[in-house]
Structure formats: structure tokens, C-alpha cells
A and B are shown apart, each in its own frame.
Chain A
Amino acid sequence: MLTTKIFFRKTKGGNVFKTVREHYLRNDIHCGSKACEKCMCKTRNIILDDEDSSVKSSKITEPYYLLIDTNIILDQIDILEEDVICNVIIVQTVLEEVKHRSSMVYKRLKNIITNPQRKFYVFVNEHHKETYIERNPGESTNDRNDRAIRVATKWYNAHLHLDDNKIKTVLLTDDARNRELAEKEEIPAISMEDYILSLENSAFLADKLCKKNYSAVCEGPEFFPCHLTPSELHDGIKTGKLQQGTFQASKENFLEGFVNVDGVEKSIFIQGRSSLNRAVDGDTVAVELLPEDQWSSPSDIVLQDEEETDVDNVLEVKKVIDKFDPSNKMQKTQTGKVVGIIRRNWRQYCGILQTSNIETNVRHIFVPAERKIPKIRIETRQYTVLCKQRIIVAIDSWPRNSRYPLGHFVRALGEIGNKTTENEVILLEHDIPHSRFSDAVLSSLPKMPWNVTDVDLAQREDLRHLDICSVDPPGCTDIDDALHCRDLPNDFHLLHHVITDLLSSNLCSLLEKVERLTFSCIWEMDKDANIINTKFCKSIICSRAAMTYDEAQLKIDDATQQDPLVKSLRNLNNLAKKLKKKRLDNGALVLASPEIRFQVDCETHDPIEVEAKKLRETNSMVEEFMLLANISVAKKIVEEFPEYAVLRRHPEPPPANFEPLIKAAKNQGFTMNVNSGKELAASLDECHKENNPYFNIMLRILATRCMMQAVYFISGMLQPNDYYHYGLACPIYTHFTSPIRRYADVMVHRLLAVCIGADATYPDLLDKKKNHALCQNMNYRHRMAQYAARASVALNTHLFFREKIQDEEGYILFVRKNALQILVLKYGLEGTLYLNKDKNSDVTFTYNAENHSQTCGNTVFRTFDPVTVQISLNRSNVQHEKLIFKLVKPFIPGFSVPAANAQSCRITVEEGTKETAKRKMETEKQQSNNAKGGGNKKRQKKRKH
């Protein structure tokens, strides 16, 4: 059964080593076809159909299988992902080449292969006795692999030919030479384009064809200089003549960009089309510095690539650039030009088609939503449909004679301006995975209906007799913590439960009156909220009530209610207050950020009302105990796993970060002490202004912006005194309380379970490097999720203001050189009010950099001054809708606009009633609250720490 073949491989590792490895060839590898009767060894994995189920092609008459080569997979993966293409053989040679060339394509290919419906079969040709070939002397690896693919095709044709029902195996390759050689050996071969066009209803597939190979065909003037060859680049970087770095396109000016060289602080400036030389944002490029007399500086103008037609008027644009060049001779920065691309960082881009005059034309220009990305030229036969939709496009190549990169259509997202479409765009542009879970994942879910089993009872502590309840925002679907408190002879006994073990919004939620498996954190405390004893255990609980903050608050306030649940709540509340006081005394910061909630129409899901989030006492009650649980757990896991614990830290911001805050406070006559968190908290508390109730909140908003990002890390990677959490003023912190929505909590749960002996460890749990990588990924995902959340808020705000023009009260948050940054507290909305925009108007504002003020006539604008602004939506740019702020009050003739309606006076009245309304229970059940703010986010209960 075994044949031994020894082959030689030279590996380069500075030195040349000869590696000898055994390579076993076998005769029991199945061809994967159901029709085959020759292959003896039966495996589960026979997926290629015996009937003619492949899509009909006019070029191939018999039933057929496709055998595809490496380049087809790398270039045409978008087409291969279409369900139409099935019965495909992937030989191992190809699979390995794909893996080496592009890990992203490899991943996508693996996804196709693992889907049994697609019928992609991996044939291990390299270990098959009859298809393994040795490299001939003088033959390159590439040629050898091509030959191996041909040999495999030939073998398949011979192998499946003798049977009654003949099945042809067709080699799919775009390599003309390979096709030629195949024909010589009488192997059926076809190019991707020919194949796709020969299919029935091929139009939509044809759009997705990669345009890589056409570049050589079309001719014309060359816009760009040549890229250097890889070896030239390698030598250049080695000798220091060239520098390697990441290219970042400018957001404002499409003809400018920067290259950040690794380890060098100052980035290299790139200007002009030929210097940019086809670099796209994110690419790793090689740069050559220009001589100093050609250095230039970023121009102040905003330059958008708005040319309508395809006329390549490069010269004209050049003139524009030249005009701005000499203007800024003063601050020249080091300038360079891109001479080669080391690695492309192309992804798929969302955007729209540029309106075209000739609808029947096949060639169109695609405008990406991201401003940093150049326009892309694509071919599509569905212009009339696609022109109203947001679409995704991938770049294939950027030849020298094309002004724009060439790409192909991937898929349509939906109508422009539609909420689901726009949400999808937000998710895609922020790299947030949102595909459905695979069947393998879903199959590991517990079966419904789910009940507590005897095994669970034996392993867990039974706490079902306790009066436990949960307190959450209204409409919350993922209830992941519940509380309980009872008197012991001397102490309180506190429980904090966190759900584990089961997935989905239903099973994982601590729903009312349902038994759930939990992870409990039990503290014994004295009357002054000092912890006497801490215990962790896995348990079973049954929540008595799932309350909202308001309901809980009412129960606590209502003195007539005396049942155990309410007593427990009151105790909790009292302890929470003590805990909070202790924490604040320690120097924890109370920060503010404008957070918005949308009240959503329950049928259309369009936002009908925007409001800033309200806070109640019960909010902070739940929060205190969550913090306590997190801190206790952090201590426990670090004690047990000093090297591998997953923790969260919040670095102290450098003093320079606080400058805007100090200046702003100084203008209002307050001094900020930022030497430590404690002093900052104290000085923030002291800042109050009688005439401006929001002054303190706004200062806190400013303070929030001075902070660093809190990050996850592995304890073994840092010194213990770096674990410090600045915002919470505690030496150690982690995330434990929300395992449903944060992966970090799941990791912490696993560690804690091992700590208390409830679970076994596994190698990956204690792998420092792997966990570190996981933490990096969590931080990245967290950051992107935050950006996406902001984008989502912006989107919903835009939807809200779509049909409206409204006057609102706001405050000046920053005074800038040419604008005022205005915060509208009612909506938690921030916007820019541009000054001196209109050059022809006689109203001029004078900026004073000393005390940050803008003056116009008698009116002076300072930070924190109240203003009234008119908000409207500018929809002229379909991809980038903007909120426009216009000044209403104070009235400046020639600049201000008249009030839009009487709403402005109503707001002041509302302000007064707010306080009383705060304690009042909102009796009517707000269905609309159920629909979540962002529409797509589960992040409703966001508590920032």
C-alpha cells in the first residue's frame, strides 16, 4: 500500500540546508466521484455528483467536472463563491499554492470547500501514486505545478472514462500557455471567461469576472511610471535607498498622501498622481525620497476627484497642483515618490456607481464610500439596476495606462438611502463580521426546550430558593446579570450572578421565573460595605423579576412595599451608595459622553425621536456591583494565573492631553488640577456655574476626550504596576459580567472556572502568545465597533432630520479658527458651525487664539456659551449626507437665520419638567423602545469602563 519516495528540498535560512523528507505515495485516495467504481477505499467524503448536475454550458456537451488552477482561484474567487458553480475538483497542489499566495482567498476557499452543497472536492494529487510527478531538471516550480495540474486532469479523464457514464474533467485556466500545452496532451481546457460566457444566464456572473488579464490588451498613453521589480525593491530597501512603509491617502485631497515608515516618527509626504503611482490606502509601498529642493508641503485645499467624464485630463489637474505648490514654501516637509508596491492591501469596497450618460455602456465608474479610495473602473451590464443601489466592488489590478484601478462587481447591498443597506455599509466599512453562524456552530447549540438536568444539579450550587432579580434598561433582551442580597446575623450576604454556558438571547438571558445556569460571585459584607469574604461558584438560579431601572427605582422609593425582594433591593442600593462613595474617594472619575437613544417607530423602524440617555440611581446600583464583581474576579484570576490572566487596563493619559480642558476651564475662571485622577475628579466636582446647569457635564465631556483608550491585555505581558485602571482608580480590573456580548468575559469565565476547579484547562487557555493575539484582536474589534456605533448614530440622526428643519439650544464646546463646535444636549449631538464661509459676505469673525474666542461686532463667542442653532440635513452628496448647523441666536445680521418654528421656546419649558418626570414611572409600555437604537446593535446596555 505504501511506496516510499524521498525528495529533496532546499530551505533558505541564511544558509542553505538540505532537507530530506519522506513522501508517501498511496493508491487508496478516492477520486471523489459518486460515479466511480474503481476507487476501493470508501470515505465519507465522496461529493462529486454522478448525474449531470453542473450548470449547462454551450461549450461542454457531456457531463463534466471542473478542475481549476491557482490563478483562477486567486482572481475569480468572487465567481467561485456563487452557488451556480459546483462539481469542482481542487487538487492539493493548487490548494497549497493558494495558501502561500493569499491567506484571505484561502480562507474563503476553505469556506466553499466545507460547504457540502457546493461539491468542491479536494484531491490529494501529491500523494496519489499515479498523479505525483517529480520536478524535471531545469523546470521551474511553477511549471512543475502546472504540469502536476495537467497530469491530474488527464488522470481524471482516463479514470472516469471507462465507466458507462462518461464524465469529462475540464481544466479551467486563464494561462494561455498552460491551455496550449493541455490541448497538445488532449486535455480539455477552457478559460474562465469563455466558460462563464457559455453558461446560461451568464450576465450577472460576467460582471464579476476579474479584469486582471485584460490590462495588457487595452492600449493608450501611460499615466504612471513603472514599478520597480521585487528584486530591485529588495536591494533598494537593503541599501537604504528606498524606504518601506504603509501608505495612507489624505482624506481631503485625493492627490496627496503620507507613507509611515516603520520605526520612523516623521512620515514621508507624497504629492501628485505620478508620485503616488497607483498606491491605494493601506498598501505597503517602497518610497524614494526626492532631493530637498523638490520638497513640498500639504496644500490646504480640499480636492475631490469629481470629474464626470472619463476624459483623462491629467494635465489640467497637474496645473491645479502646480498652482498650489509654490504658495507654501515655508514649511516644507520631506517628500518622496512611490516606486513600487510591496504588498497590496486591497479589500472589497462599498460605494455607488457614478452617473453615466450612456446607460447601455458596459464600462462604468464606481465611487467608493471611503474618500481615501480612488474611483474604480468596472464593467457591468446591469447599470440600470445598479445605479440606484449601493454595491460592493473589488479591485483586480491597476495597469499603467489606466487612470483608475480596474475592478469587478461583487454584489449589491440594496437601495441607496435605505436603512438596512446603510447599516450593512457601516458594518462592512468597519470590518465587522456579520455573516450568519455556520451550521457547525449552530448545531452545537443546546436543543430547545432546554431544562436543568440532574448533571447540572450535581455540579452546581442550587440557589433557586433565593429572591433574585435583575435590573436592566427597558427592552433589554440580553439580561446577563442578576442581584440578590440577604441579611446574615452580622453581615450582608450578596450575590451577583452572571450567566454562562448557554447561547442565544433567550437561553442566555436571566429571564423572569425561569431556571438558568449561572456563575455566581458571593460576597459577605459588613454594614459599611467592606468585603469580608468572597466566593465564586457555578450555580442555578431562578430570577423572580426582570425589572427596568425605573421599576426598581419605584419599588425602592415606595415605602409601603415590604416583600423580601424589595428589601433586598434596598439593601443593595444602600451598599451601592457606600461602594460608590469609597470609589470616588479613591479618585475614580465620573465622566460624561453625550449618548443618544432613538425612539424607533415600531413598524418602519425609522427613528421618530432622539433623546440623550437618562441616568437613575438604580443604574449606578447595578453598575457598582458589576464593578465589584469584575475587580474581585480580576484579583482571583491573577492570583491563580499570574501569567495568563485576561485583564483590562486604562493607561494614565499624558499631561499634554489635558491642555484643551485646562484652557477651557481657565476661560471660565476655574483651575483644573490634572496631576492625578483623584485631583482631577476633585476639580471637576468643584466646577459649577449658576447660570449654566450643563457646564459641569460639558467639562466632563471634554475630560472624556482627553482620556486614553482602555485595553485588554494578558497579565504576563506587563509589570503589575501597569495593570492600573485610571478611570476607575483601581489597581486591577477585568471584564466578567457580560459574557453574552463580549468575548473577553468568556475568556475570563473560562479562567475563573479553572480557578475554582469547575472546568479543566486546555492548552490554548494557557498559551500566553495566543491569548495576547486574542487580546489584540479584541481591542481592534472593540475600536471598530465603537466607530461603527458612532457611524450608526450619525446615520440614524440623519434619518431623523431627513424631513425636518429644527431649531435647538446648544452650547459651544470648542472654538476653532474658522468654526464653532456645538453640542446640542437634547440629542447629545455635536456639529460644526462654520464661520467666515462666504467670502463675499461683509460679516467677519475675528478669532482670538489667546482665550479661544470669536468676535463679530458686539457678539463674542466663548467656549460653553449657549447658542440656538438650526439643524437641517444636506443631502446633495448621496454618499456623505451632512448635518448643517446655522446660527439662530444670538442674532447676527447677515449671518444668522430666522427661527424655523416655535419649537425653540418649547424646549426651555421642557427642561423644567424633566426632573420631576425622571422619577415618574413611564406607565405606558413603550413598544417602540424594543427596537434598538442602532437597529443593528446589541450594544444597548453599553456601560463604559
Chain B
Amino acid sequence: MIEAENIEDQNGLRPDGRRALELRQIRVKMGVFGQADGSAYIEQGNTKILVTVYGPHQPRGSTGRSTSNITKGIVNCQYSMAVFSLSSGERKRKPRGDRKSQERSLQLKHAMEAIIHLEIYPRSQIDIYVEALQVDGSEYCASVNAATLALIDAGIPIKNYAIGCTVTLINNPSLEDEDNTLGKGVLDANYVEECTPGVTLSVVSLPNNDSTSKDGLIVVAQGAGQRLHLSQFESLKARVLCGCQDIRTILDYAVREYLTEQSLPSLFHVALN
């Protein structure tokens, strides 16, 4: 376990050598799974997530039968973690269906419902399957990012990117800061940092091109049963939105590049500008 002291030792560097506001390397692949209507694979450091999207299609199963929501489409999410995914080296007993996965599925559903134009898909259903292949912290946020990409790949119209990013409050005020206005807390924590005594917040936001929109912010607190004082929340939020903006830029670039590759060669040069 890494103590907060470590940061001091390393002249303000985090245990893996990043600075407080730096993200891990993000690698994106879209359209990796031909059979599905849309799919995406994302790597945020050692956190690796595969998402497939099926639909929109006729509702099946119990969700479909309920007539309550015929004016809007239904989103069905399933979050599962591979048994070999844990970075602590243990084996997970059940890949899905446990409390944590169910909670994640629900939270993911909320995030996706916020961005999909569901009103244009009455009486239909969209299935989103998330498979966490390797987990090294921030896995929920990475799966939100991957799900957004998979929706784009499936050609489902969305209002905005739903971008997830974590911020972890490390009990150490003397962190060397490039930007003091943003308060403290480190972005995109890996597994080691998530295990520290501090609080980790997973935040999903819908950032705009220019500024961050204030609506549709989902905040999920995790961590070792710690409480976060409300006075620290605003500064953490400022940081994490900054991180979301960065992730959005990266994803947006990846999407554009992917789409131009897929499109006619004549379009290639135009789109890049």
C-alpha cells in the first residue's frame, strides 16, 4: 500500500510517476467486434474495457412487455468483470450479478439514458454489454467512456459525449501543484491510489466543446468507507471536470480519425482539418 507520504518523496510525483492532473495513457479502438451493431475497446493505463452495443431492436424479455414506456426507447445495460480481471492477482468468483456489478449497470444505464436521443426510438430497446477485461482503477469511468464510443460506432444518435473520470483526494496538502486554483486531488487514479485512505469520486459529465455544461453530472463516491467533507467537494469537482475535458478531447480525436478512415478516401483530408 502506498502512503500519501510517497508523493512528498517523489517531488510531487505520484507512485506511478504522473503528476496530479495527468491522465494515464488512453488507447482506443472502435469497431472491434463485427457481430455487434457497435463496439469499442478502451485502455486507460492497465484498465481495459470492451463494450458492445446491440440495437435498437424490438424489446425482448420482461422489459419489453411493460407498456408503460412506449414513447421512449429502453436502455438495457449489463456490466460484468472478467474473473481474471483483478489487478490484485486474485480470481473473481462471479463475473456478474453481484451487488457491485448490478449497481454499476444501473449507474451506467443512467449515464447512457442521459445522452441517447431515446425519443426517436419508441417501442425499442438498446442493449449495452460492458466487459471489464482488466481492472486497474477507474474502471467504471473507463466503461462509460467505452460505452459512449460503442454507441457512436453503432450509429445511435447521441446528444453529447458522456465522459467519466475519477478524482481521488489524497490526505496530503503539500502536493506540488501546477495550478492552485483547482484545489487538491489526483485524477484518474490507478488501483494503488484507489486503495489509499482517501476518497475516490467517480464523476460522469457531459462536457461541451468550449465549456463544461453543468447538467447531467453523476457523482459516485467510492473508497474505504471514508467521508468527504462538503467544503472539499467544489475544488474536487473543478479538477475532475478539467480531466473530463481532456478525455473528451482525446476521444473526440480518436472518433474523428476512425470515422475518416472508414469513410471515402476523398473525405480523409477534409475532415482532418
Chain A positions within 8 Å of B, measured between CB atoms, are: 2, 4, 6, 11, 15, 17-26, 29, 43-45, 92, 95-96, 99, 122, 124, 126-127, 760-764, 766
A11 partner residues in chain B, CB cutoff 8 A: 89
A20 and B9 contacting across the interface, CB-CB below 8 Å: no
Told that A6-B46, A763-B171 touch, could you supply 18 new A-B pairs with CB distance under 8 A?
A17-B90, A19-B88, A19-B89, A21-B46, A21-B190, A22-B190, A23-B17, A24-B16, A43-B11, A43-B176, A45-B176, A95-B9, A122-B9, A122-B11, A124-B13, A763-B197, A763-B227, A764-B171
B88 partner residues in chain A, CB cutoff 8 A: 17, 19
Known A19-B87, A96-B9; judge A26-B226 contact (CB<8 A).
Answer: no
Contact with A along B6-43 (1 / 0, CB 8 A): 00011111001110001011000000000000000000
Q: Provide 8 A-B residue pairs closer than 8 Å at the C-beta atoms, listed in order of the A residue.
A: A6-B46, A21-B190, A24-B16, A43-B12, A45-B11, A96-B9, A124-B10, A763-B227
What is the CA–CA distance of A19 and B2 in the complex, to the nearest angstrom?
14
Known A17-B88, A761-B227, A762-B229; judge A22-B11 contact (CB<8 A).
Answer: no
The yes or no answer to B231 lying at the interface (CB within 8 A) is yes
Contact-residue bracket for chain B: 20 to 34
Taking chain B's interface residues, is the majority helix, strand, or loop, or is none over half, making it mixed? loop
A764 partner residues in chain B, CB cutoff 8 A: 171
What is the CA–CA distance of A630 and B13 in the complex, to the nearest angstrom?
46
Within the complex, which residue of A20, A24, A760 is in contact with B231, where a contact is CB–CB below 8 Å?
Answer: A760
What is the CA–CA distance of A17 and B191 in the complex, to the nearest angstrom?
15
B25 partner residues in chain A, CB cutoff 8 A: 2, 4
- A-B residue pairs, 7 tightest by C-beta: A17-B89, A24-B17, A127-B17, A124-B10, A22-B16, A22-B45, A124-B11
Residue of B17, B136, B231 with most partner-chain A CB within 10 A: B17
Report B169-218 residues with CB < 8 Å from chain A CB. 171, 176, 190, 192, 197
B17 partner residues in chain A, CB cutoff 8 A: 23-26, 124, 126-127
A766 and B11 contacting across the interface, CB-CB below 8 Å: no
B136 partner residues in chain A, CB cutoff 8 A: 20, 22
B87 partner residues in chain A, CB cutoff 8 A: 19-20
B13 partner residues in chain A, CB cutoff 8 A: 26, 29, 124, 127
Within the complex, which residue of B18, B171, B192 is in contact with A24, where a contact is CB–CB below 8 Å?
Answer: B18
B11 partner residues in chain A, CB cutoff 8 A: 29, 43, 45, 122, 124
Within the complex, which residue of B24, B45, B190, B229 is in contact with A760, where a contact is CB–CB below 8 Å?
Answer: B229
B46 and A92 contacting across the interface, CB-CB below 8 Å: no
Chain B positions within 8 Å of A, measured between CB atoms, are: 9-13, 16-18, 22, 24-25, 45-46, 87-90, 136, 171, 176, 190, 192, 197, 226-227, 229, 231
What is the CA–CA distance of A23 and B45 in the complex, to the nearest angstrom?
10
Q: Find the B residue at minimum CB distance from A16.
A: B89
B90 partner residues in chain A, CB cutoff 8 A: 17
B16 and A23 contacting across the interface, CB-CB below 8 Å: yes
What is the CA–CA distance of A92 and B88 in the complex, to the nearest angstrom?
25
Within the complex, which residue of B89, B190, B227 is in contact with A766, where a contact is CB–CB below 8 Å?
Answer: B227
B192 partner residues in chain A, CB cutoff 8 A: 21
State how many angstroms separate the Cβ of B258 from the closest Cβ of chain A: 22
What is the CA–CA distance of A387 and B84 in the complex, to the nearest angstrom?
69
Q: Find the A residue at minimum CB distance from B226.
A: A763
What is the CA–CA distance of A122 and B226 in the complex, to the nearest angstrom?
32
State how many angstroms separate the Cβ of B65 from the closest Cβ of chain A: 45
A22 partner residues in chain B, CB cutoff 8 A: 16, 24, 45-46, 136, 190
State how many angstroms separate the Cβ of A757 from the closest Cβ of chain B: 14
What is the CA–CA distance of A6 and B90 in the complex, to the nearest angstrom?
20
B171 partner residues in chain A, CB cutoff 8 A: 763-764
B46 partner residues in chain A, CB cutoff 8 A: 6, 20-22
A99 partner residues in chain B, CB cutoff 8 A: 9
A21 partner residues in chain B, CB cutoff 8 A: 16, 46, 190, 192
What is the CA–CA distance of A65 and B105 in the complex, to the nearest angstrom?
57
What is the CA–CA distance of A2 and B12 in the complex, to the nearest angstrom?
16
What is the CA–CA distance of A127 and B9 in the complex, to the nearest angstrom?
12
State how many angstroms separate the Cβ of A32 from the closest Cβ of chain B: 9
A44 partner residues in chain B, CB cutoff 8 A: 176
A126 partner residues in chain B, CB cutoff 8 A: 17
Q: Find the A residue at minimum CB distance from B25.
A: A4
B231 partner residues in chain A, CB cutoff 8 A: 760
B197 partner residues in chain A, CB cutoff 8 A: 763
What is the CA–CA distance of A29 and B18 in the complex, to the nearest angstrom?
11
What is the CA–CA distance of A551 and B25 in the complex, to the nearest angstrom?
75
What is the CA–CA distance of A24 and B17 in the complex, to the nearest angstrom?
5
What is the CA–CA distance of A6 and B197 in the complex, to the nearest angstrom?
25
A760 partner residues in chain B, CB cutoff 8 A: 229, 231
A761 and B229 contacting across the interface, CB-CB below 8 Å: yes
State how many angstroms separate the Cβ of B195 from the closest Cβ of chain A: 12
State how many angstroms separate the Cβ of B225 from the closest Cβ of chain A: 10
A24 partner residues in chain B, CB cutoff 8 A: 16-18
What is the CA–CA distance of A498 and B73 in the complex, to the nearest angstrom?
65
What is the CA–CA distance of A761 and B232 in the complex, to the nearest angstrom?
12
State how many angstroms separate the Cβ of B14 from the closest Cβ of chain A: 9
State how many angstroms separate the Cβ of B87 from the closest Cβ of chain A: 7
A92 and B9 contacting across the interface, CB-CB below 8 Å: yes
What is the CA–CA distance of A4 and B46 in the complex, to the nearest angstrom?
11
Q: Find the A residue at minimum CB distance from B23.
A: A2
What is the CA–CA distance of A31 and B22 in the complex, to the nearest angstrom?
21
What is the CA–CA distance of A92 and B8 in the complex, to the nearest angstrom?
11
Q: Find the A residue at minimum CB distance from B24.
A: A22
A23 partner residues in chain B, CB cutoff 8 A: 16-17
A45 partner residues in chain B, CB cutoff 8 A: 11, 176
Residue of B10, B18, B45, B136 with most partner-chain A CB within 10 A: B10
Q: Find the A residue at minimum CB distance from B231.
A: A760
What is the CA–CA distance of A808 and B231 in the complex, to the nearest angstrom?
66
What is the CA–CA distance of A246 and B16 in the complex, to the nearest angstrom?
39
B176 partner residues in chain A, CB cutoff 8 A: 43-45
State how many angstroms separate the Cβ of A750 from the closest Cβ of chain B: 14
A95 partner residues in chain B, CB cutoff 8 A: 9
B10 and A127 contacting across the interface, CB-CB below 8 Å: yes
What is the CA–CA distance of A26 and B18 in the complex, to the nearest angstrom?
8
What is the CA–CA distance of A763 and B88 in the complex, to the nearest angstrom?
26
State how many angstroms separate the Cβ of A39 from the closest Cβ of chain B: 12
What is the CA–CA distance of A21 and B190 in the complex, to the nearest angstrom?
9
Q: Find the A residue at minimum CB distance from B199.
A: A763
What is the CA–CA distance of A764 and B197 in the complex, to the nearest angstrom?
10
What is the CA–CA distance of A18 and B9 in the complex, to the nearest angstrom?
26
What is the CA–CA distance of A99 and B10 in the complex, to the nearest angstrom?
13
Known A23-B16, A124-B11, A763-B197; judge A18-B229 contact (CB<8 A).
Answer: no
Q: Find the A residue at minimum CB distance from B227.
A: A763
What is the CA–CA distance of A20 and B89 in the complex, to the nearest angstrom?
9
Q: Find the B residue at minimum CB distance from A763.
A: B226
Q: Find the B residue at minimum CB distance from A28.
A: B19
What is the CA–CA distance of A11 and B190 in the complex, to the nearest angstrom?
18
B10 partner residues in chain A, CB cutoff 8 A: 92, 122, 124, 127
Q: Find the B residue at minimum CB distance from A44.
A: B176
Residue of B22, B89, B229 with most partner-chain A CB within 10 A: B89
What is the CA–CA distance of A674 and B145 in the complex, to the nearest angstrom?
73
State how many angstroms separate the Cβ of A43 from the closest Cβ of chain B: 7
State how many angstroms separate the Cβ of B106 from the closest Cβ of chain A: 28
What is the CA–CA distance of A794 and B1 in the complex, to the nearest angstrom?
47
What is the CA–CA distance of A92 and B12 in the complex, to the nearest angstrom?
12
What is the CA–CA distance of A29 and B190 in the complex, to the nearest angstrom?
22
B22 partner residues in chain A, CB cutoff 8 A: 2
A92 partner residues in chain B, CB cutoff 8 A: 9-10
Q: Find the B residue at minimum CB distance from A122.
A: B11
What is the CA–CA distance of A218 and B201 in the complex, to the nearest angstrom?
62
Q: Find the B residue at minimum CB distance from A124.
A: B10
State how many angstroms separate the Cβ of A716 from the closest Cβ of chain B: 14
State how many angstroms separate the Cβ of B74 from the closest Cβ of chain A: 38
State how many angstroms separate the Cβ of A884 from the closest Cβ of chain B: 53
State how many angstroms separate the Cβ of B187 from the closest Cβ of chain A: 14
Q: Find the B residue at minimum CB distance from A127.
A: B17
State how many angstroms separate the Cβ of A266 from the closest Cβ of chain B: 38
B12 partner residues in chain A, CB cutoff 8 A: 43
What is the CA–CA distance of A26 and B25 in the complex, to the nearest angstrom?
13
